[in-house]
Amino acid sequence: MENSVTAVDVKNVLATSAGSAVFLGNEEKVFVIYVDHAVGSAINMFLHKTPKPRPQTHDLFGDVLLALGAKVERVVISDFSDTVYYARLIIMAENELSERKIVEIDARPSDSIALAVQAGAPIYVASHVWTEVEDMSIVLQKMEESSEEEGEDGSELPEL
């Protein structure tokens, strides 16, 4: 993995007929990663700090990390091939068993993004991925406008 990365934020999560579109980017450009509906909902709930009636899978994982004295330090979307993205979840642990330990784990970008949003951790994209992804800023803008016209708050689109 290259050392050069670009910082991105989750710009929006919009429902689609096949799941959810997670728009990531910065002022330069925005790209999309398609995820299943459950993870898209989790990311949206973390973004909007929506209370849940009971813990979901990402809540469980976050609670286990906390109990072990660990936290999500950052996420790097490290590669992609044929529209499939790959990510690395970087976790920092500091507890009575170890002074400080950094662990890097292969993970789905969708899960990594959910955990990063939950923890308030930064999300980065490897430079070779960033230069190759298509700018979807206009698509995001049109989708948000479309959902606003239909009375939505812009956070989700009706099923297409």
What would the pLDDT profile of 29-52 be if each residue is shown by its tens digit? 999 999 999 999 999 999 999 988
CA Rg, the chain, in Å? Answer: 16
Q: CA angle, 23 as apex, 20 and 25 as ends, to 5°?
A: 165
Domain boundaries, the chain: 5-149
Is-contact 84 9, C-beta < 8 A? no
pLDDT at 81 over 70: yes
CB 72 within 8 A of CB 120: no
Superfamily for the 5-149 domain: Bifunctional nuclease domain (3.10.690.10)
Grouping H, G, I as helix, E, B as strand and the rest as coil, residue 107 is: strand
pTM given for the model: 0.85
